[in-house]
Chain A
Amino acid sequence: MNKTICFFLNQEKIEIDLNEGSGLRPDTTLLNWLRERRKLTGTKEGCAEGDCGACSVVIGRLTSDNTPSWQAVNACILFLPMLHGSVVTTVEGVANADGELHPVQQAMIAHHGAQCGFCTPGFIMSLYAGWCAAIDFSNTAEIETLLSGNLCRCTGYGPIVKAGEALARWARPQWATDRLLGDISALAQMAGDTRKGLELEYKGQRYSAPATLDKLQTLYAENPSAQILSGATDIGLWVTKQHRQLPHLIHIGNIAELEAIKKTDGHITIGAGVTHQQAMDALAQDYPALQEIWSRFGSAQVRASARVCGNIANASPIGDLSPCFLALDSQIVLNKAGRRRQIKLDSFFIDYGKQNREAGEFVEAIILPRLQAGQQLLAYKLSKRFDQDISAVLMAGYLDIQADKITDIKIGFGGMAAIPKRALRLEAYLKGQNVPVIGEDEGAREAKFATDIAACLAEEFDPIDDMRASRSYRLLAAAQLVQKMFIEYRAGYTRLSTPQHFRSPEDFTPTIQA
């Protein structure tokens, strides 16, 4: 086990002994370390909760198959030891050493992408992450995805998007490419270190980062009150917002075995270390409906850090993936000291803050059934803002339709109860019916159908009133979403929430008529 963390910051090798002498607790955020210890004040704090992107930095890592990945992440909720084995670039490290500005910086100036300048370093880093990953800057939707986690209050974003689009035409300077290659060799150089794992303790806080599943099993079984940490996009806020003192963190981000996505004919298994971004990229063909849910899950920064299984394990009633996985009738694998049990996801969620999970047991993977012919998954997220928002209501519907008859249906809801929950009564009502026609005239049959849906939902859901939505809107919108699902089953996408559809007046062609 290493007791010293090691990473590169703007091409400089950093080694910190977090056990003694450094004065740094393991839960010190990267942002605070940069600003307070390194006096690198270009990286800004805008919210300390990963919602504004002003603190974005670019992290380079080697994935489990040894390919480098470059992603912007929020430094405000990233704990310093989580950087072990990575390369970090901050806004101060983007220009060439001789002062020549990088294309992302030149483009932002040329297109007047900064007014007050406070969010600008974060935008620079998101654009730089896209530049490192060589995304297609001629595709505006890709730029939007890249920038979804960066808030700007001055410009209205247009000039920043134009700066991004200009990068498609900008030459890639040799020095910048060379520097990237240098970062890759730094990653390779550290790879051996990462495989040893970390064990740190300072000022009453212990931080363990086991390097193998075997070690994780043992460690957690022996320390069942420790907190499992994956991407820190939730736990980070416990520290920055609630000022909680977490005595023992077990980070699972260095375990290659957990980073696998395995596909068989019938199932897809996602390991606990898989990030949302990795799952989104790998499962694009398998569940088209999840692409939108994932593309609206947090932001690019959050998807790069947060893990799919973390979204399940924290059992949040407003987590976006749980309702989808419920509709798919997924199973999860729980592991305690190597003893595994596989249960239906449905049975994992018991009540708010209460799951079917023993002390020392952790979520090792989720297993999703693959869709067969005639089977579909449709998913809908309602929130105040399309991107980077938490659902007011999320509905996912699995439909098995044969000869226009609903032979099987499973509907999962988020935001409607204290846990992510199946709409069993509604499913029973719909099963065996013909696919309802919901069209232009509000006929009697259609009206009855709408009433019945609302009645089923009102019987089995009792949602809360809060700042995201009222109880009555949640109930009403949930019923409307069921109707929408059948409209879309027949007519295709009829929604405003995707980047590909209905974004400009030209997208409203007469072919979309219901």
Chain B
Amino acid sequence: MSSDLNKPIAHDSAALYVTGTAKFTDDILFPDDGLHIALGLSSVAHGKLVNVDLQEVLKAEGVVCCLTAEDIKGRNDASPVFGDDPVFADGLVSYHGQSVFAVVAHSAKQARIAALKAQITYEELPAILTIEEAISQNNLLRAPHHIEAGSVDKGLEGAPHRLQGQIKIGGQEHFYLEGQAAIAFPGEAAELHLHVSTQHPTEIQHKVAEALGIGFHQVSVQVRRMGGAFGGKESQANLPAIIAALAAVKTGKPAKLVYDRDEDMRVTGKRHDFQISYDVGFTNDGKILALNVEQFLRCGMSFDLSAAIADRAMMHAENAYFIPDMRVTASLCKTHTPSNTAFRGFGGPQGIMGMERIIDDIAATLGLDPLVIRQRNFYPDKGTSESGKPTPYGQPVTDCVIGQLVDRLSRDAHYQTRRLEIIKWNKDNPVLRRGIALTPVKFGISFNKTMLNQAGALVHIYTDGTIHLNHGGTEMGQGLFTKIAQICGDAFGLPIDRVAITPTHTGKVPNSSATAASSGTDLNGMATAAAAETLKARMATYLAAQYQADVASVRFADAQVYVGDEAISFAKAAMMCWQGRISLSATGFYATPEIHWDPDKAKGVPFYYFAYGAAVTEVAVDRLTGENRLLRVDILHDVGRSINPALDRGQIEGGFIQGAGWLTTEELVYGKDGRLQTHAPATYKIPACSDRPAIMNITLFESGGNPADTIHKSKAVGEPPFMLATSVHSALRHAIEGLITEGMPNLDAPATAEQLLMTLKGMAR
């Protein structure tokens, strides 16, 4: 076969990356008379804007003009859903770092220097910064929501054991290496064309048009690639794009806004920090009977995507475990901090962290290996008589493989033997302690909001037999474009070098959803396959007639088209079809089947299927300093039938390390004034090269393919592996077990050296 499907081929841009010739938004050739923008940010967390004096800004070298709320003819809003994120603060600032105005100048440096010259007078108002403050003042974005199954209170009362606890989980900065970037080129009349580093070009199109008060048809948005996104360029790309558009319209010149790192970290939302408390009832052997979970998430000053994130957190609060009586409640805390947003996992990681803490606590109470508790509570595997138990939101889990997957992983990673060795080591060694944990992941695939599960593609065949491929998905490094090209090439029996991968463009495929929720390949792959099938059917019909063969006999393989007994090159077939006046351009469309959700009852089948995986992590902790290190990680993860095993492994390994960073070194610190103090890599520490474990074994679970009818039986892989890192936190806690006098150490996240040592000493903040 000449197709590249299922092969570990390199990322389509690999050769461009290593030679520095892959163009990111800020690399696009920009005219010398194009203008550059910098933001003016608020320096209080909450306050009335009494006066914004920009006279000195306007006088500064190189400044062309300033932009404020008054310059917005349409809607002053950058929000994805709720209309509550002003582009420029208008009368009120709601977080430290909020955009108040923008400066347009001949260079970025000039714009930044000028922005510092503004004189802004505030009337400061009391600020609510933390989850605790929001709870105590009942400052919520909306009334708490519940998901409930069975009768929790009765279940808890009747349980032989009952336990309560709490965990605090910190937020996370995306730290995409490429900051937010947008360029707006004014066109004829009111038209505008934008290049934006965004996961959601359609939303940019909408928000820009609304801010300018023009139709969607007058705005086109293009993105070839992003330098990382991780959810942080879903809604957060709106603000720079709108401002660049405003500047371009006001000046009639191309205008560019590229956040510098500090600006980016201060302005944009992050992963939500959570407080989770629980009340669990279980049997003597650790079977969970009833569970009540309360989640409090810090949303920041507006909704952004918090409602959907809370939904996903609730829907993952039970992770891979069947719990007959369960209630989970999410409270959306409104605070005067940046509006927290999508980040790989979208609430799922926090929900799962809460559940894994509960399991660890039950194990400690019963004096059992936590893995035993995990295995006793798994959803039954498919093919077993018990299979199909419902989640708390009513979706039967029919595709479960977690039982067999964990059995195999624990065996291959020698979990039991190593655990015993570690326990012995810890008895003999007072300074360096070790810990090990195996944690599972079950992650629901589909956008929570059913309507978003749709995608389109556009495929042209040229008369030399090459293909132009376009779809609504965006490339952020995950390899989506490579995978879709593999799917497209395979459909025609072509290698991917015959397929042109082209930038995402709102003019080619309209009304797209964000590339998010791990859905990129599932949705766009199916849409592309549909377009290819349309084209193949047209070609087959025409060619069969030409060769007087049966249409059903026509096959596309090996860069040939087989028609009856004839084999003609794909190029020749394309040319023949053109000569026969057959349309060689088609769109494809896909809408995920079977899913539905009733938000009022909080019941339904929101997910088309689940992705599964598990990890064993071994760590070491220095008891004297709290320093810690990953020693070894073993992962077994289910990607269905992999479209590209190399790219899938990349997602697993990278996702795991990113998750490990979230739970260890990555700490967001806000000052008492609400200012983010960790606003650059000097103070915010994502994992570095030496933080990865010395041993990392990653295996793809051989499942025989996704039972759901996905593209080539593959499974989504963008987010699920992130949550494998919960094993890091559990292992760290295991390492310090027995070092405090009473109970289990109440270790929060991130488990920095400080957090670990202070937990050991009972002095945690």
Give residues in A with beta carbon < 8 Å to B.
32, 36, 39-49, 51-52, 54, 90-92, 94-95, 101, 104-105, 108-110, 112, 114-121, 124, 143-144, 147-148, 150-161, 241, 243, 380, 382-390, 392, 439-440, 466-470, 472-473, 476-477, 480-481, 483-484, 487, 494-497, 499, 502-505, 508, 510, 512-514
Contact = CB atoms under 8 A, between A and B. Distances in A.
Contacts of A51: 680-682
B657 A157 contact: yes
B669 interface: yes
7 closest A-B pairs (Cβ-Cβ)?
A42-B20, A116-B477, A118-B227, A156-B657, A117-B17, A91-B20, A504-B694
A508 B690 CA distance: 18
B763 interface: yes
Given A92-B19, A161-B692, A468-B683, 17 more contacts: A44-B177, A46-B177, A91-B18, A101-B18, A109-B18, A112-B10, A112-B11, A114-B11, A118-B228, A154-B654, A384-B665, A469-B754, A473-B757, A481-B625, A494-B432, A502-B620, A510-B428
Contact of B14 (A91, A95, A109, A382): A109
B688 interface: yes
Contacts of B690: 144, 148, 386-387, 499
Contacts of A508: 425, 432, 434, 620
Q: Which residue, of A43, A91, A152, has the highest number of chain B Cβ atoms within 10 A?
A: A152
A387 B688 CA distance: 7
Contact of B20 (A92, A392, A504): A92
B477 A117 contact: yes
A403 B390 CA distance: 71
B687 A504 contact: no
Contact of A389 (B29, B654, B685): B685
A121 B624 CA distance: 39
Nearest to A240: B260
Chain A, interface SS category? loop
A114 B482 CA distance: 13
B657 A503 contact: no
A158 B175 contact: no
B262 interface: yes
Chain B, interface SS category? loop
Contacts of B695: 504-505
A496 B622 contact: yes
A178 to B, nearest CB: 20
Contacts of A44: 24, 177-178, 227
Given A101-B15, A116-B176, A153-B177, A147 B754 contact: no
Interface stretch (B109-117, B198-206, B362-370): B109-117
Interface in B70-106: none
B696 A158 contact: yes
A385 B660 CA distance: 12
Given A116-B176, A117-B227, A483-B624, A505 B681 contact: no
B58 to A, nearest CB: 18
Contacts of A109: 10, 14-15, 18
A507 to B, nearest CB: 8
A156 B19 contact: no
A331 B571 CA distance: 79
Given A117-B13, A157-B689, A477-B757, A497 B627 contact: yes
B624 A118 contact: no
Q: Which residue, of B226, B627, B692, has the highest number of chain A Cβ atoms within 10 A?
A: B627
Contacts of A480: 624-625, 757
B26 A116 contact: no
Contacts of B678: 467
Interface stretch (B316-324, B349-357, B491-499, B628-636): B628-636
A376 B478 CA distance: 50
Contact of A156 (B175, B431, B654): B654
A472 B20 contact: no
A151 B177 CA distance: 8
Contacts of B22: 117
Interface in B428-447: 428-432, 434
Contact of A467 (B225, B227, B683): B683
Q: Which residue, of A46, A117, A477, has the highest number of chain B Cβ atoms within 10 A?
A: A117
A330 to B, nearest CB: 26
